[in-house]
Amino acid sequence: PPRSTLFPYTTLFRSKEEVAAAAREIYARGLANPGEGNVSMRIGKTDELLITPSYNQYAKCTAADIVHMKFDGTKLSEGRPASTEYKLHAAIYNDRKKAKCVIHTHSPHATMLSVLRKGIPVLMEEQVAFLGGSVECAEFGQAHTEQLPENALKALGNNNAVLMANHGAMVCGADMEYVVNIATLVEKMARIYLGCLQVGEPNIVPDEKLQKFKDYFEARATYSRKKKEAEPKADAVTPAQ
């Protein structure tokens, strides 16, 4: 297979192994079923990424299954075709230079909320520390089109997690272990929120109590600080109760 423009082959192979291991892990945690969702890693500072293949069989995923490609869709490796959602991953990497890994899941509770077009408010402090705050739900964007990543980025704001209407969840971060863990956290918070809604209206953590957790998140944030003030979070769906 061709080498990366940045990494020697051995390092590229290890990176493929890391993507495959993350794919197996999210499957083991119940965040994805065979053939849905995807995992990727940016290759250094290039316009290249490694991504799980189309209709990925998570339990058996190995480095040999991982696809090496450019952000524009040009395939650089032989074998299986890339996930059809590569545009979502490429859009995140193009927008966020600090993002090194992206995971998109169809985890059950997060996807339920995405179908309700309902984001997750700040229910616990860890949500701010690791995700950046509330998890907004983007406007609907058709799968495999430019509209899906455009809407996801708008709703993502300065945070590292977003729900995509009638589609699932997407998380990004600087390393794969962190991204696997925050994908798990999004599902956990979605499950808690849905459970609370069965009983009554959840109590939200007051914003004035969250500053130290916001400070903690800044070391993990992937947004462009140059855009922070210029681009307010927009087009998030907040349906009536």
Catalytic center residues = 85
Inter-residue long-range contacts of 14-19, CB under 8 Å, 24+ positions, other chains counted: 15/41, 15/43, 15/50, 16/50, 16/63, 16/64, 16/66, 16/68, 17/62, 17/63, 18/176, 19/50, 19/51, 19/52, 19/63, 19/66, 19/176
Bridge partners of residue 38, in order along the sequence: 104
The b-or-e profile of 223-235 (16+ CB within 10 A means b, else e) is: beeeeeeeeeeee
Please name the residue that has the structure tokens 């794919």.
23
